[in-house]
């Protein structure tokens, strides 16, 4: 193969430099996958390296399969012998072979996230940890972060401190690991940790793999954590022919444990390393690249490089400011439709990127109204998300208690100790009496089958009855009451994980939707709101196929590219977020946000539009925001804007940051809702009342129709009435529950 003609000078250097440690700084769109593929084939064809002596590590199974296929296309069947896999897959293969040496049976189980959660529930139960105060994910998240840093319970405790919560983390970590070991099981973090421990403690196993892997390559090196770095260092320690490929400017996964120091300090760990910069971009226009370079150069802790391209100059970047997020979303939708008509291209050539998942709601609504097919990537339809469906179920149950499906969904959300068996018994009772599940629950006091759960059920029905009495209140007020008084929001606040914070953001956006509905309708009602939501959420009429506009977070867009890209929500406080602006970490959080913006910019091939809203609804209230500070880092010569030149005086920035720090606490326990209050007790106990009918009288039932009373028995708290209905059925039922009327 003529590599000299297929590659540019820097790419060729990266392919041919096969000895010793090599760091390839591959800028966005610079052809790194091409380099890795040809480097592997070069080793096989030109240097006669046996394919099974080459190891290539990627971060996803899809990337691994793609690389293996590309290698096989170049070198034929020999490419199948190259060890190409993810970190986790590689570790499983090693541990299966040397399981005994690692202290496990080779048939060990691998626990996924749900398995880990089940184990942690049992751990918490054994340690008498109240699940209402602490959620499983709180401890699992802390344990995972500790494992990323190769720290066991004792070492992790040194970081956590010795306060009561830290001690709980320590105890759960120890017990969790003991239970995994007893079950001959490993979680995903353990796959890497236990492999590292095996290599550190068993010289024979280490020697075997160091001899096996004469050449080692690692893709997306900027995303590695401490445990992965140590694994790579150990495996490559024999020949030291280690090639890592990455871009520190695209390191955006700190929240997942990625340690940017692995790539920034590569020469420190490997002093004899060769550094090769791939700076020629084959993706974007000159204008887009100039903007990306002008933004990322503001980060101090980075490897110096400047992307360039031989592509055309291209259109200027559009910067569009709007009065509201609704105008912003409307513009994006109509602009997509307009460009699509003029260019006659595919919807898949377009992408809308945003900082938080909650931003998708308004965009989805506008796209539906414009009849533009779209697909949410890395998430689900806004109204299909669990937290939104849960709250909608509460609202449906309040408006229509006969909705058994909604009642079943929420009766134990958040957990109230009402078991499925009790629900089923209440359902049987309700069916026998010809009424809804909810009314069956209201009669729990007189249903002997569920007496043990009666008080818990009564607490739930009391909650719903209280909400029903407030149907005349504004819709946003009712939703806030549901979130607060049900304990739903408080459970998410206590959990305090990335996932729970995202769920809280989505609930904030749901309240925003309710506020808009309340303001836009002359006679707003909760039932009307639910109807509007149901119609908006119905996207079944979208055309089938794979031609969609993609809507996704900036994190989800990494590795993708599109002709036309919109980045929405370019406001200080949203992007970058308030937490990054007010963080006291020397600017590290802000630097990561800037890298995220850089990733977003470099997804665009031809057209880039940056949008912002002067006012955006946050927690049900409109807030005015300043343009993102990142916008001022792009030269006005590169942009076409509908607003005055973006500039920030130091005084304005100081005032804004001061205001931000007052309005938004950087504390991790930050609660975006009001303080929860205890639910009111509206009392739903049944009181026995005199009957208006007697034995022999004809009575009417709303479901079974008319019939004759055969007998009446005084059951203490209620009368048990036996009726033979005109249809021939004979039913026994409680009087207060059956609500029989004299015919």
Please give the positions annotated as active site: 32-33, 219-220, 250, 603
Helix axes 360-369, 526-537, angle to 10 degrees: 70
Tokens read off for 603: 């997804």
Are the beta carbons of 408 and 437 closer than 8 angstroms? yes
Q: Three-state DSSP class for 645? A: coil
Phi, psi of 739, deg, nearest 5: 55, 50
Is 685:445 a contact under the CB 8 Å cutoff? yes
Residue burial 580-595, b: 16+ Cβ < 10 Å; e: rest: bbbbeeeeebbbbbbb
User: Whole-angstrom Cα distance, residue 707 to residue 732?
Assistant: 12
Q: Give the HSE-up count for residue 392: Cα atoms under 13 Å, Cβ half-sphere.
A: 20
Look at residue 205 and give its three-state secondary structure. helix
φ, ψ at 411 (rounded to 5°):
-60, -30
* Greatest extent of the chain over all pairs of C-alpha atoms, in Å: 103
**Distance (Å) of CA 679 to CA 80, 427, 461, 463, 487:** 63, 25, 11, 6, 9
First CA to last CA distance, the chain: 96
φ, ψ of residue 701 in degrees (nearest 5): -115, 140
Give the list of residues 6+ apart from residue 604 with CB closer than 8 angstroms, or none: 284, 288, 561, 562, 563, 564, 565
Distance CA 743, CA 740 (A): 9
């Amino acid at each position: 193969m003529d590599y000299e003609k297929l590659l540019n000078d820097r790419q060729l250097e990266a392919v041919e430099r096969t000895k010793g440690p090599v760091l390839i700084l591959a800028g966005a769109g610079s052809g790194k996958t091409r380099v890795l593929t040809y480097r592997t084939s070069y080793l096989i064809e030109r240097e006669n390296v046996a394919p099974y002596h080459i190891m290539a590590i990627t971060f996803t199974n899809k990337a691994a399969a793609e690389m293996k296929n590309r290698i096989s296309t170049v070198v034929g069947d020999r490419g199948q012998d190259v060890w190409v896999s993810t970190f986790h897959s590689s570790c499983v293969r090693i541990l299966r072979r040397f399981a005994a040496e690692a202290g496990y049976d080779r048939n060990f189980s691998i626990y996924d996230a749900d398995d880990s959660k089940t184990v942690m529930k049992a751990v918490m139960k054994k340690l008498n940890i109240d699940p209402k105060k602490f959620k499983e994910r709180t401890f699992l998240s802390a344990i995972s972060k500790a494992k990323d840093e190769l720290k066991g319970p004792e070492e992790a405790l040194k970081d956590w401190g010795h306060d009561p919560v830290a001690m709980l983390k320590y105890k759960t970590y120890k017990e969790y690991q003991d239970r995994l070991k007893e079950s001959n099981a490993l979680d995903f973090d353990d796959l890497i940790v236990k492999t590292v421990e095996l290599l550190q403690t068993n010289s024979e196993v280490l020697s075997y793999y160091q001899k096996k892997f004469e050449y080692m390559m690692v893709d997306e090196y900027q995303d590695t954590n401490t445990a992965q770095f140590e694994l790579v260092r150990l495996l490559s320690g024999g020949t030291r022919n280690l090639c890592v490929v990455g871009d520190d400017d695209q390191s955006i996964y700190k929240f997942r444990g990625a340690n940017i120091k692995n790539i920034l300090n590569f020469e420190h760990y490997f002093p004899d390393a060769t550094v090769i910069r791939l700076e020629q971009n084959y993706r974007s226009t000159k204008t887009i690249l100039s903007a990306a370079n002008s933004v990322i150069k503001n980060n101090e802790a980075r490897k110096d490089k400047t992307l360039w391209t031989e592509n055309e100059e291209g259109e200027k970047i559009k910067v569009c400011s709007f009065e509201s997020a609704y105008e912003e979303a409307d513009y994006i939708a109509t602009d997509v439709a307009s460009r699509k008509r003029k260019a006659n291209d595919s919807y898949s050539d377009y992408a809308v990127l945003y900082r938080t998942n909650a931003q998708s709601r308004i965009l989805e609504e506008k796209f539906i109204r414009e009849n533009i097919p779209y697909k949410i990537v890395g998430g689900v339809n806004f109204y299909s998300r669990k937290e939104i469906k849960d709250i909608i179920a509460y609202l449906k149950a309040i408006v229509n208690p006969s909705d058994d499906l909604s009642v079943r969904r929420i009766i134990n959300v958040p957990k109230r100790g009402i078991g499925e068996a009790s629900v089923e018994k209440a359902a049987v009772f309700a069916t026998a009496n010809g009424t809804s599940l909810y009314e069956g629950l209201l009669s729990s006091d007189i249903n002997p089958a569920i007496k043990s759960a009666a008080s818990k059920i009564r607490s739930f029905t009391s909650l719903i009855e209280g909400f029903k009495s407030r149907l005349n209140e504004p819709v946003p007020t009712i939703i806030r009451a549901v979130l607060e008084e049900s304990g739903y929001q408080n459970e998410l606040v206590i959990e305090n994980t990335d996932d729970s914070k995202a769920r809280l953001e989505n609930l904030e956006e749901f309240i925003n939707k309710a506020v808009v509905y309340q303001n836009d309708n002359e006679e707003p009602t909760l039932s009307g709101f639910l109807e509007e939501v149901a119609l908006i959420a119905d996207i079944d009429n979208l055309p089938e196929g794979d031609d969609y506009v993609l809507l996704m977070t900036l994190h989800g867009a990494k590795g993708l590219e599109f002709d036309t890209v919109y980045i929405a929500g370019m406001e200080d406080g949203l992007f970058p977020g308030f937490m990054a602006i007010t963080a006291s970490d020397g600017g590290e959080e802000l630097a990561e946000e800037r890298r995220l913006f850089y990733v977003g910019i470099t997804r665009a091939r031809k057209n880039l539009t940056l949008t912002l809203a002067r006012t955006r609804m946050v927690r049900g209230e409109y807030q005015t925001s300043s343009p993102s500070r990142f916008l001022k880092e792009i030269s006005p010569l590169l942009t076409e804007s509908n607003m005055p030149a973006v500039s920030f005086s130091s005084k304005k920035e100081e005032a804004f940051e001061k205001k931000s720090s007052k309005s938004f606490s950087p504390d991790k326990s930050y609660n975006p809702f009001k303080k929860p209050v205890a639910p009111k007790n509206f009392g739903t106990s049944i009181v026995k009342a005199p009957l208006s009918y007697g034995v022999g009288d004809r009575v009417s039932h709303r479901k079974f129709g008319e019939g004759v009373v055969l007998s009446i028995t005084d059951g203490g708290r209620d009368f048990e009435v036996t009726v033979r209905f005109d249809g021939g059925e004979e039913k026994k039922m409680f009087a207060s529950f059956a609500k029989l009327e004299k015919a």
